Each structure stands twice: as C-alpha cells, then as structure tokens.
Structure 1
Amino acid sequence: MDTTVKSQAPTGSGTASGLQPFLHDACVVLAAPAVALSRPAGAMRSGADGFFRGDRRFLSRLVADVEGVPLAPVRTGHSDASTAAFRTVLRGVGEQTADPAVTLRHTRTVHADGLRESFEFHNAGPLDVTVPLALSLDADFAAMDDVKAGRRAAPPGVRRADDALRWHWQEWESRLTSTPAPDSVDDEGGTAVRAHYRLTLPPGGRARVDLDCAAVDRDGFPFAPAPTRRVPWSRPRLRVPDHRFPRLLDRSLDDLAGLLLTDPEHPQDTFLAAGAPWFLTLFGRDALWAARMLLPLGTDLAAGTLRTLARRQGTRDIPATEEQPGKILHEVRRTSQLLDEGTTLPPLYYGTVDAGPLWVALLHDAWRWGLAETEVEALLPHAERVLAWMAEHGDADGDGLLEYVDSTGKGLANQGWKDSGDSMRWRSGRLAVAPVALSEVQAYAHEAAVGGAALLRAFGRPDADRWEEWAARLRDRFRDRFWLDDARGPYCAAALDGQKRPLDTDTSSHGHLLGTGLLTEEESGLLARRLASPELDCGFGLRTLETGATGFNPLGYHIGSVWPHDTAIAVHGLARAGFPDEADSLVRGLLAASETFDARLPELFAGHGSGVDTGPAPYPAACRPQAWAAASSVHLLRALLGLEADVPGGTLRVADSVAESWRPLRAEGLSVAGHALSVAVDVGGGVRAETAAPVSAASRRG
C-alpha cells in the first residue's frame, strides 16, 4: 500500500534561508550531467549535499551509522572524477589491542544516470563481530537554483512506496535498490527513512551493502552524457623538475573527462559543461575558452563545441531572452533560473557580449591547429553571422566598440566574464552604469575580426578586407578611448561606462589584451608591469581587482579573488608578447595554489596573497572542478613551451628558450593536425619538437 506525505522544503536542507551553501570542504564526484556532493567523510546531510542529475536533486540525505559505535573517518581519496572512497575506523569494535580491528570502506561511484554507494566492512581482528549498520535516506527533488540560493520553496507532494526505497514528485523519481535488502525500514519523519542491516563478520571476514540510486527524469535534460571512457583529446605526459605541474595536469584532465556532455541529436559533438555543481550545463563563454585552451591536445573538442553552439546561434530579435541574429548564447538550462529577487534568466539565455567573438577566435585557432578544412568551411556561414552581429548589434551605438546592456531589466547586469553585479567599478568604489564597453571584449573582437578575415580569404569568401579594416578602426578607437594615466604612468581602463568614461581601476583584464594584436609593443610592456605588480600578482595568481581600489575584497567574486583561468590567459598573453619572467611568476603562483587544493584548482579562490597566507583560502561557494580552471593547466604548458601552430601555413612555433628552472623538460602526447607532438628541452636549453604532422617543427619564436 502506498502512502503520500509532504516533505520539507526542496532546498538546501539545514541551510539558513537566503544563504548560498558553502562547498569548500565538500567531496565532489561527477559524471556529467550527474554529480554527488557530500561532507569530507561521505555523509550527505545538509546545504548542497546530495545526488543531482540535470539540476535536480534525487537524493538529499545519505548518512551511514553503526548504532552505538563511534566512527572515526581516516581518509578520503579520488581515483578519478567519478569515484571517491572514504575509509572509517569503528572505534572499539572487535579490538583486543590498541590497534583498530574493524574498518569501513565506503566507495561512491557516479555515472550519468545514477549513483552507487558501496559499504564494505572488514574485520582484521581475532573476534567474531556483528555490525548494526543503519542508512538514513531521503529525496527532496530540489531544483539547483533553489539549493544555490538557499531558498525554501513550496513543499512538493512526495510519495514513498512501502515495498521499496522510492520517492517521486511530478516528472522525477528516485529509486533505491539495496543489495542485500535491508532487514527493516523505519520512517524518520517527513519522507526520510532509516534502513537497518545486521552484518556478521568472522575474523578476517568481510560484509558488504550496495545501494544503487536510479534517477528517473521524464522531463528531460537538454544534453546527454558523453560516451564513457572516450575523451576528445590526447593525454599528454609531462616530465619536468617541478612535480606539481604533472600532478596538476593529470588531475585536471581527469576532472575534464567528468564534465563532458554531448548534443543529444548529434552525439559525436562533445563539449565541456562549465562546472560542478552550479553550472553543470552548456555555457557559451566557458565552453569556448576551455576548448581553446585544450587545442594542443587536439581539435575534436573545439569542433564539437563550435557546432553545438552554432546550432543554437541566434536568428531573431527576442528581447526576453536577449537573442539577436548571429549572437552566440550565454547558457542553456532545463527551466528558468531565479538567481535573486531581481534576476531571472530564461532557459535559453543570450545575455553575453563576448561569446560571439570567442566563437570566431576558436574557429580560427582550431583551423590553425589542424581542424579539417571541410569542418571549418561548414562553419564559416556561422562565423560571418557572428561578425555581422558584432558590427550591427554588439556595437549598438555605432561608435566602433562592443558594449552591453541588460535590455530586460531582469537579466545579468554585467555580461562579460566578470558578470557579478558589482564587478565594474571605479577606484572610488562607484559602480559603472550601462552600457559598458569592456577592454577585454575589444581584444576578443579584434582577434575575431582579424582571424575571421584570414578564414574568409583562405576559403575564397568575400569581405576579408572589410573585417581587417574594421579591426584597424577598432584598434584606433581603443587607443583613443581606453588609455589613461595615474601616478605610475599610462595604462588601460578596465571598461568604459555608459557615458564613455574610462574606469580607472587596474584589473586582471589587462592580461586578456596581451598577444591579441590590439596593443603595440610599448603598450604591452606597460600592462605587463601592471600585471607583475603586487597589487595584482598576489603570489598565487592574479587578483581580479587591484588592492588599492575601494571595495577590494579578497573574497569578492570578481573584486579581489583569483580565477585560475584568468591568470592562465594572462600567462599565455605575457608569453606571446615577450614577457617570460612575468609569465613565469604567475605559473609558479598557480602551481603553489594547486598544492592547497590537492591539484584540483577551483573556479576561484581568495586573493589575500602569499604575503599573508602560506596557501590561498578557498572561495567557499566556488565550483570545483570548473572546466576552464582545469583546462588552464594545458594553457600554462602551451605558454611555457611557446607553442603556436599554423598548419595551413606549414609551421609550428616553439619557444627559443625555456627558463633554466624548468629544465630538463619533456612533454609527450600533445597533438597537432591529428598527429602526435612531443617537445623536449635539454639541460642546456635546447628546444626540440617532433611530429609527423605536415608542418615544420623547426620554427622558433622570434
């Protein structure tokens, strides 16, 4: 007989209403679009804890107890992104000496459609032991945006069948299968239950309980899981004196595999979800940057990302979603997202100013790294539409610069990568009023116009001259509008406000301008010195905002924190512009930070700096893993090696020197034009590249 009860609110259970749950000490296990979060010892109790699939929570409570026995967690470890193991000692059970006798190894495995929790007890002592295991379980079907915001929404109707561990609400069902079946199941109040097991362990014996959670989703998530055990990139092997670098690279690639999703109608096209748990879906900007950073490992991910976004390219003017002809989207969700009282994003949302230029830049770079000409040519009409959008919609006021404004009053107030509402400000702390023209977006647009022109000319399409001239005019307007002076000399404004006044703050955005062709050599040097200053370089990476600005906050999302991808972009830009020492300092800073985070760099972390802390403090609500943070490890390697491919032009460039502290170095398993690439640097500094690709490996950076 079925019983129907009302659950408590489908939200971050145990979290104060309106407070975002913290994640800094969470154990995160994932296989997109599924993710499990728990306490470090494995229990799912409160806040953001639980098993989610497609932004819906299918298990909100999982706590293992041995009745009457104190449990002592001793270790948590990951074998890869989808598996974690927790080891616990049962204090005083079966012991005849001070040595522990009975232990529990709790293993969690997430797959794209469900979750397996295995509890294996081992008795290493000389006595017979009986273990009274109890599992406390519940499912609340909370939406991810409610969990993230700490909201307590209206309670849903939830049914639990008496003959199974099963919950459902609307289109969702959570089915738990236990092997062996529990000896008994008790109600714990609301929809929670407590399953009891009595396990007997002789000396040397083992006993195991497996719990499988199947997430039944009749509503349908917009994207599908990627094929298991197949990733669209090569696996590099790095040998270098600093052991932190290979460890960061290996862990990052494991995490990236867990973030892969596919376009359901075109399963050959994979892309990277932005991050777990909050952003486990398609974000245009994030997916493009991550794919761009991974180009030295192959072009398949770039191709899948480009095609997935091209299928959803804007075709009409729809103010409610900010769609415009040619525009590349910001994000895709199952349902609308209520971010706060004033911000509501529709499921398909186009509120971004930079995804379009980044799309064209990725297509151009993928072509140079060897993406097949047929694949490039098929995407050129989409590139032409993005370029047209840049000139007609991105530059809405016709001043030759790209700017944004939230036309709905309900969307994102800031629509660059620093999209928090307080990110655009003067040194005085006063916030900028839209429309806002970001410095880095002008650099992306310049790259898109120049790269787009190169593509059009190479494939015999018209308007190459038009876009080169457009880029030249953009350079002139940027130089005229964005440069200003302070006591330290000339520098570049972070943005222009709605009255075209330059924001006078130093920010990490300087790094996005370097190596893009927007700046002269002298201008690049001025910004390189700013990036190397202690106001921005905190010793663990780049602060997003200078320390001298009013409102600087080391734990501010975009106003003082450090974002690994942001630092990696600056590293690459500094290396391309000819400032290896400044780049090297930032590389070492991120490697130092990686030790604090067990080689799993988070979305962002605090910007207090190495002068204050021996390791960076976490930003408590940051995603970890995050696609572009993980992909940054490859971008750092590319910058260190000076890798620049031009397969159509028949050249592969490598650095003419690598700092002595990195020697000897060997990177194998890279890829260019579908062929293996290795780069070696000997103790004396000699650089050698080897590949079977149709390019010259002898070219050096000048």
Structure 2
Amino acid sequence: MARSSNVRILDGNNFVVSEDTGDIEATPSEPTGLFSLDTRFLSTWVLTVNGERLNALSYDDLQYYEARFFLVPGMATHYIDAKLSIIRERTVGGSFRETISILNHDEKPVDLEVRMEAGSDFADLFQVKDEILNKKGEIYSEVESDRLRLGYRRGNFKRETIISSSAPARYDGQGFAYTIHLEPNEHWDTQVTVQTLALGPGGRDLRMGLRAHGTERLALQHDLEEWVRTAPKVNSEGDRLAATYRRSLIDLAALRFSPLSLGGAALPAAGLPWFMTMFGRDSILTCLQTLPFTPELSKTTLRILAALQGTRFDDFRDEDPGRILHEMRYGETAAFEEQPHSPYYGSVDATPLFVVLLDEYERWTGDVALVKELERESRAALKWADDYADLVGNGYIWYERRNSDTGLENQCWKDSWDSISYRDGTLPPFPRATCEVQGYAYDAKMRAARLARECWDDPEYADQLEREAAELKKRFNRDWWVEDGEYYALALDPDGRQCATLSSNIGHLLWSGIVDHERAEKIAHHLVGPRLFSGWGVRTLAEGEVRYNPIGYHNGTIWPFENSFIAWGLRRYGFADEAATIASGILDAATYFDGRLPEAFGGYPRELTKFPVEYPTACSPQAWSTGTPLLLLRTMLGLEPHEGHLAVEPRLPVGMGRIEVLDIPGRWGKVDAFARGRLDLNH
C-alpha cells in the first residue's frame, strides 16, 4: 500500500505535518505545518541550497516524535551526479528542533548559500479545516540579532513563534540564511530551535505546568521506553499481531494530551491532524479499549472529564448540569466564542459512558478510592440522563442542538449530517434518539447500581437503578425492534417512528447488555452476514440501504474501533466464533496499514480488493483506532475480571497460532494469559 507523501510527527500537544522533503508550504485548506493548541505556528518552512529546492531520496519516521529526511539538490535526473547530501533531523516535543547537516562529496571545495524560508499564518485549526482563513488580529515579525520572532495578537489572545539557530545566521522578516564554505568531504551542521508561545493576559504562557516529556530527544526516548516497558508484553506466532500491538502502544504514547490548567495530567487525544485535543466520547472509548494494558489513562481521563463536567444551562455550548463535555479547543475561534468549543458539550453518549468507564476501571483495578472520589459526578451524570436528556418524555435519551449556528446536528458517534436516516433515505426531524445510546444508559444504570451497593453504601439507590434499568430494557426491546427485519432500528424520531435502517449500531447494543437473549442470535447473524460484514469488518451501514456508500463517512465505511466493541459484545452474549471472525478481518486489515489502523476505511467486499481501500481524509493515528487491537486481544483471549481475579477463556480465529500476553495488571497484581488458535484445515 502506498505511503502518504505527508510526514507526521507528534508529541501529545504538538504536531508537525510536512512534505517528504521536510518542507512546509501550507495553504488555508492544507493541514500542513507546526501546530500546538489548535494554532498553526509555522505555515512556511522551506529549505533551499543556492536558491534551489531539494528533492527527497528517502525519509525515516524514526519514532512518533522524530523523523529524518535524506535530500539532494536538483531534479530526479540529477541524483546520480549529486555532490551534496543534505540531512534534516527533526524532533517535536516541548519545542520543535531541526538539525540540518550538509556533506560535500565533491573533490573540490564549494561555497553555499543555505536559506530557510519561515513564516506563520497563525491559522486556527478550525479555519484550516473549513478552508476559511479570516484573521481579525495583527500578524507581525520582529528581527533580532540572534532570532526571528513571528507573532499574532488580537486583544489578550497572543501567539508567538521564536526561531533561533546554533550556527550564526542572518535573519530577516521571511526567514534566515547562512553562507558556508565546505572543503572536500567536509560537513556542516546547525540546530534550529522553534519555540511556540501561547500567551494570555499579562504575557503569561498558558502552558506552564503541562506534562512535559522534555525538549531533548533523549528525554522523549526515555519516556517512550518506560511507557513500553511498563505495559504488558504480547508475543505471537508470525509476529504480525505483536508488531500491531507495539505500534498501538507507541501511537497511544504519542496521543497523550495534557489539557491546560489541569496539572499536566494526560488523556488520549482523539486523532491527528484535526482532533489533537480531548474529546469526551473518544477518550472514554479509547480507555475502555486499553484498560487492561494502560489503566493509568483511564484514571486521569475520568478525573479530567469530571473536573470539566457541566454545571449550568448554556445554550451556546449545549451545556447542562451533569453533562460530560464533547470537545475542548484552545484556538482563536474558541477564545472569541466564534464557535462553542470552550468546552462544547454536544455529545449525547459521553455522559453515560463516563459511568461505564468508572465501573469498568474499578472492576479491573480495585481502585475504590476513585469511585468514592467521583460519586457526586457519577450521580450527576445519571441525573442528566433522566432529567435533562429525555427531551420527549418517554424515558429515552434524545438530542437536539440548542446552538443552531455552530452546534453539532447529530450528537451521537455518527455525527455527520446524513448518518441518521429512515429506510427510504430521508432524514428524520429533531430531536432524535439513536439505539446505541439507550444501551449505554442501560449499562450505566446497571454498573452504577453495583458501585452504589459496593462502594457508596447506598443499597436503596442501587435497587432504584436496577429497577429503572429493567424498565428501560423492556421498553427498548418493545419500541426499537424492527419486526420485518429482525434487528433494532437505528433511531427513533420524536413521534416514535423507527429509522428502520440496518446499521452497525446494533453491535453496540450487545456490549451494553440491553439486548434480550432470545434476540441476540439474530443480531449476531446480521453482524457477520454479507450486508454488514465486508470480510474486513462490519460496515457502518448495510449494503442495500438507500444511503449505503462504501466510502460514505458513516454510511458504509468500516471503523476499526466500532468493530472492536462489536466483537466484545458478541463475546458477552456467547458468540465467540462470530467475534473471532470480526477480529480476524480487522487484524488482517491492520497489516496493510503497517499495523496502524486508520480512523476508517472503505466498506467494499473483501473479494473485490487485495487490500482494504483507504478513506481519503481519515485521521491517522487516531486514538480509538489505536486502541482497537488491544480490545480485540482482550476479546479473543476472553479476559474478564471475575471476583477479584482475571478470568481467561480464549477463542482465537482459525489459523492465528499461539498468543501470549504477559504481566496483565489489575487488582490481582500481574498475571499472564496464553491461547492457541485452531488449525486451518483448508491450508
């Protein structure tokens, strides 16, 4: 599979997207540049030698935070005659550093004019995404003897990019340059440092106190080595699964994001390039996927989301008391309330999922202290579901945005405008209620009942929650069942009419436990049947539905994260072979993406393609795709906490071979799990 020409390196709060030469030439619609806190701090970063652009021989993305580019002057036809080698080594961490090395291979000395064009449009990431660059403040540059300062100010909102070099350079308003002389076989190098500043009132850097790996490569390397060392070890026959697991661990490390003013704690950012910030839903689901392997992410995620839980009614931000945020942004458009993400609460599922994660975290870790610490927030989340989310008054969770200018229309995980439709393809009115969210609400009530009984010393509340959950389950199985298709409707409209399309959402109902057992087999057959299952994975919308499109964002593509939860749900209801079928398809697909599953890929039938078809604008890495192999490992091995111990009940796909997972952490200390797949008798 062809590699993208864009090179991406990142470290939580900062990322760089460039061409394969290392150059950056951004336009308002191109997500290339150096970004931090939703602002582009470098939009131009172009290296020339004697006025000539450079061409790439190759590049190495050495780690998530560093890359190396091997370049020569001239066009491709001149490579064989190249007398110079140029190497750019780049690291992003607390700052952006680039070492430029030039080697003279000629038998004669050379005189070179080396120049870096540098500039910044200070675009807000929302402006880049929407292809609208409308700056209302002042962009400035200040040339000093030993540095170039690029800046943007609008009221108290101020961002600066400061560029300096270890070798003496000549700075001007558009970049900096060197004049160098190289004898035969001599080399020259310099280290360029780019510091980014996010300044608030009084000139204080808003990022003071954030979790920092350090700005030096050695500190970043040590942090990554420690992250991998403390995680469970996975070994597998053929090494493909083990390699995918390691890729996931490394990408999770890269995606650790530290919100401002919350003490440097880290949670998973949603994905690069558009979503390098915290998302309630994405962070929670990623933590559920990765809990057996990186439980510390769940603890910090729960605390951060609890600290930012809604406390008031705010129509602009779709905020209610008890509601868990959807998304937080730090750029100019959020600062000046040109969009509501400061934070924005327009998610209908993050709130019940918060309670689900808290219970699952305690089941694994035994951390009763955190459950007690977050009791008030958990009760508020459950109250939100009952008192504020039931917009129709029939006991379900509904959504309708209150900010019609910038709020999300669809506030479920399938949040594109056309993802919820009737069977004839038309779109229902608002408010809408999607099926999987009712499952999350049921699950949250059942789990909170356990916490109330075992941790909060409130058995009456536990009994109440269990009664409410039972009533919800009975009501749901009556109102959402599509008789002529034998599956659950995607959604209901405000009049109670079914959006009777066959969708992947029915798989979420299994892992939530809301499905009546006598109907579970029908759901399992749909999920691995030809309309939904492509051979690579379960499509978001079934083939044959009016809005089906194999590369429609939520109307026919395959989302790896969703497939991992569907497989988990199938195991919950005893459909181990069906779960293994889905796991096998997704893990096979991962090998074509070098172990890094993208946000989504095409839903074309597997027999039509030798490899999964890439979705053109998919985020990569993306947190819940990164978590997918980890939840599939848990599902295949049947790992479940049980009465203070870890139960293991493997069921691997046919032909997978032996898997071992060592040092799985939990309330039991650390234990190992082993499994072997059944032989493929057809080969």
- Fold conserved between structures, TM > 0.5: yes
Contact persistence 1:603–1:626 (CA under 8 A): yes
Letter in 2 for 1:484: V
Indicate conservation of the 8 Å contact 2:90/2:99, yes or no: yes
Give unpaired runs (5+ residues) of structure 2: 214-222
When the two chains are superposed, the root-mean-square deviation of aligned CA atoms in Å is: 2.7
Measured in 2, the distance between the counterparts of 1:562 and 1:644 equals 26
477-486 vs 143-152, which moves further: 477-486
Structure-2 separation of matches of 1:511 and 1:194:
54
Equivalence for 1:404: 399
Aligned to 1:511, the other structure's residue is in SS state helix
The 8 Å contact of residues 298 and 672 in structure 1, kept in 2 or not, is answered as: no
**2 CA distance for matches of 1:607 and 1:92?**
39
- Look up the match of 1:147: 128
SS at match of 1:611: helix
Judging changes above 3 Å, is the alpha-carbon distance between structure 1 residues 404 and 100 closer, same or farther for their aligned structure 2 residues?
same
**Residue of structure 2 in register with 1:162 after alignment:** 143
Contact 2:113–2:180, Cα closer than 8 Å, also in 1: yes
- For the residue of structure 2 that corresponds to 1:513, the secondary structure is helix
- Residue 277 of structure 1 is matched in structure 2 by 273
Q: How does 1:520-669 map to 2 (within 5 A)?
A: 520-646=516-642, 649-669=643-663
Shift of 1:365: 0.3
In 2, Cα distance between equivalents of 1:588 and 1:575:
14
1:177 aligns with 2:177: no
Hey, what's the Cα distance between the residues in 2 that align with 1:678 and 1:202?
59
Asked if structure 2 preserves the Cα contact closer than 8 Å seen for 1:564 and 1:590, the reply is: yes
Structure 1 residues 615-665: Cα deviation after superposition (integer angstroms, max 9, x where no partner): 23333322221111111121111111111113xx22321115434522221
Counterpart of 1:30 in structure 2 is: 10
**Alignment partners' CA distance in 1, 2:176 and 2:39:** 24
Structure 2 equivalent of residue 681 of structure 1: 675
- Identify the match of residue 44 of structure 1 among 4, 9, 24: 24
**CA–CA distance in structure 2, aligned partners of residues 276 and 116 of structure 1:** 20
Evaluate the alpha carbon distance shift between residue 336 and residue 141 of structure 1 in structure 2; reply closer, same or farther with a 3 A threshold: closer
Q: Deviations over 1:110-149 (max 9, x none)?
A: 113x211222223456554444432221111111110111
Q: Deviations over 1:482-518 (max 9, x none)?
A: 11134xx411111112221111211111221113221
Shift of 1:473: 0.7
Is the partner of 1:332 in helix, strand or coil? coil
Residue 397 of structure 1: CA displacement? 2.6
Structure-1 separation of matches of 2:596 and 2:257 = 20
Q: Is the 8 A contact 1:337 1:347 kept in 2?
A: no
The whole-number CA distance in structure 2 between the counterparts of 1:66 and 1:612 is 47
Q: 1:688 maps to which residue?
A: none
In the TM superposition, 1:118-133 aligns within 5 A as: 118-123=99-104, 127-133=108-114
Aligned mate of 2:347, from 340, 345, 352: 352
Identity %: 32
1:304-453 map, 5 Å: 304-334=300-330, 344-410=339-405, 411-453=407-449
Matches of 2:101 and 2:212, distance apart in 1: 29
CA distance in 1, matches of 2:530, 2:358: 36
Matched, 1:303 2:286: no
- Report the Cα distance in structure 2 between the residues aligned to 1:515 and 1:59, rounded to whole angstroms: 44
SS of residue in 2 equivalent to 1:514 = helix
Structure 2 counterpart of 1:88, which letter?
L
The reply on whether 1:288 has 2:284 as its aligned counterpart is yes
Residue 117 of structure 1 aligns with which residue?
98
Letter in 2 for 1:65: T
Q: 1:140 to 1:575 in 2, by over 3 A?
A: same
More divergent stretch after superposition (195-204 vs 212-221)? 195-204
5+ residue gaps, structure 1: 1-22, 188-192, 686-702
Greater displacement, 69-78 / 535-544: 69-78
Q: Distance in 2 between matches of 1:415 and 1:92?
A: 50
Contact 2:356 2:447 in 1 (8 A): yes
Q: Deviations over 1:245-273 (max 9, x none)?
A: 22222122112112213355553642112
1:82 and 2:76 matched: no
Residues 325 and 54 (structure 1 numbering): CA distance in 2 closer, same or farther, change over 3 Å?
same
Question: Structure 1 pair 320/98, CA: closer, same or farther in 2 (3 Å)?
Answer: closer
Tell me what 1:469 maps to. Answer: 467
C-alpha distance in structure 1 between counterparts of 2:209 and 2:270, whole Å: 15
2:536 and 2:191 mapped to 1: Cα distance? Answer: 42
SS of aligned partner of 1:441: helix
3-state SS of the aligned residue for 2:583?
Answer: helix
**Which residue does the alignment assign to 1:3?**
none
Q: Which moved more, 1:398-407 or 1:199-208?
A: 199-208
User: Do 1:81 and 1:255's aligned partners in 2 also have CA atoms closer than 8 Å?
Assistant: yes
| Residue identity matched to 2:49 | V
User: How far apart, in 2, do the equivalents of 1:142 and 1:570 lie?
Assistant: 39
Residue type of the partner of 2:50? E
More moved, 213-222 vs 352-361: 213-222
After TM superposition, give the deviation of residue 296 of structure 1 in Å. Answer: 0.4
**How many angstroms apart in 1 are the aligned matches of 2:257 and 2:53?**
41
Conservation of the 8 A alpha-carbon contact between 1:165 and 1:176: yes
CA displacement at 1:71 relative to structure 2: 3.8
- How far 1:428 sits from its partner (Å)? 2.0
Letter in 2 for 1:80: Q
Q: Do the aligned residues in 2 keep the contact of 1:592 with 1:615 (CA within 8 Å)?
A: no
Q: What's the CA shift for 1:82?
A: 1.1
Verify the 8 A CA contact 1:224 1:261 in the aligned structure 2. no
In structure 1, what is the Cα distance between the partners aligned to 2:19 and 2:524? 42
Other structure's SS at 2:45 match = strand
Choose 316-325 or 173-182, whichever is displaced more: 316-325
Flag the 1:123–1:321 CA change in 2: closer, same or farther, 3 A: same
CA distance in 2, matches of 1:586, 1:67: 55
445-454 vs 145-154, which moves further: 145-154
Q: Which has the higher helix share?
A: 2
Flag the 1:609–1:67 CA change in 2: closer, same or farther, 3 A.
Answer: farther
Structure-2 separation of matches of 1:536 and 1:224: 47
Report the secondary structure of 2:365's partner residue. coil
Q: Choose which of 211, 215, 218 in structure 2 pairs with 1:226.
A: 211
Q: Distance in 1 between matches of 2:148 and 2:339?
A: 35
CA offset at residue 559 of structure 1?
1.4
Amino acid at match of 1:195: F
Cα distance in 1 for partners of 2:653, 2:589 equals: 21
Contact (CA 8 Å) 1:50, 1:60: kept in 2 or not?
Answer: yes
Distance 2:208 2:495 in 1: 41
Contact 1:232–1:301 (CA<8 Å) still a contact in 2? no
- The letter for the 2-side match of 1:30 is L
Runs in 1 of length 4+ with deviation above 6 angstroms?
230-233
Task: Supply the AA of the counterpart residue of 2:594.
Answer: D
Specify the code of the residue in structure 2 equivalent to 1:226.
Answer: R
Q: Per the alignment, do residues 670 and 225 of structure 1 end up closer, same or farther by CA in structure 2, a change over 3 Å counting? A: farther
What is the CA–CA distance in structure 2 between the aligned matches of 1:483 and 1:224, rounded to whole Å?
51
Output the CA distance in 2 between the equivalents of 1:224 and 1:423.
Answer: 40
Cα distance 1:520–1:683, how it changes in 2: closer, same or farther (>3 A)?
Answer: closer
Whether contact under 8 Å (1:166, 1:176) holds in the other structure is yes
The equivalent residue for 1:8 is none
**Aligned CA distance change for structure 1 residues 144 and 117 (closer, same or farther; 3 Å):** same
Counterpart CA distance in 2 for 1:62 and 1:39 is 10
One-letter code aligned to 1:665: I
